[in-house]
Amino acid sequence: MNSMIKKTLQGANLKQTKARIAVLSALEESKVPMDASEIHKQIQKSNSDVDLATIYRILEKFEASGIAHRVNLNKDRFHYELLSLPHHHHVVCKVCGKVQDIQDCDLSTVEQSVKENLGFAIQNHRLEFFGFCKNCS
């Protein structure tokens, strides 16, 4: 088994179960954030199966452990992606729904002013762009 997966679970003090390994693998293979049902289907493609309820419970654990986090793509379900990915954001096509990553994000000026003006301690942020991808333009 992928030793990266093993380490990730051990590091988070989580038992290595078939279900968790399956969810982690699915997220790892994916280039874009996945929702619970997509993860479910992906696992079934690998000739395995994990109950949807279990997937939700696992995602909750993963988020609490800092393994993954919920990203909000303005759709009617939540999506999840691994936190081991370098910090980045998403570009979502309004036509085909395609999601792409972007790496740049210099928000230091904005963050500075939030801190000074509101006394707000920023922990993290979410930045998404919506528009039309190359193909749909």
Partner DNA sequence: TTAGTATATGCAAGTCATTTGCATTTGTCA
Partner DNA sequence: TGACAAATGCAAATGACTTGCATATACTAA
List interacting residues with DNA (CB under 7 A).
14-20, 35-37, 49-54, 56-58, 60-61, 76-78
- Residue type for 84, please? S
Q: Which is nearer to a copy of itself, 9 or 62 (CB)?
A: 62
Residue among 47, 73, 44, 78 at smallest CA distance from 62? 78
Give the C-alpha separation, 34 to 36, whole Å. 7
**108 interface partner picked from DNA, a copy of itself, none, CB below 5 to 8 A per type:** none
For a copy of itself, the closer CB: 17 or 132: 132
Q: How far is the CB of 53 from a copy of itself (least distance, A)?
A: 17
Q: How many angstroms separate the Cα of 133 from the Cα of each of 3, 64, 77?
A: 36, 33, 21
Q: Measure the CA–CA gap between 20 and 10, rounded to whole angstroms.
A: 12
Q: Based on CB atoms, which residue is closest to a copy of itself, 47 or 74?
A: 74
Interatomic CA distance for residues 16 and 19, integer angstroms: 8
User: Which segment (10-18, 30-38, 47-55, 110-118) binds a copy of itself by CB under 8 A?
Assistant: 110-118
CB of 118 to DNA, least distance (A): 27
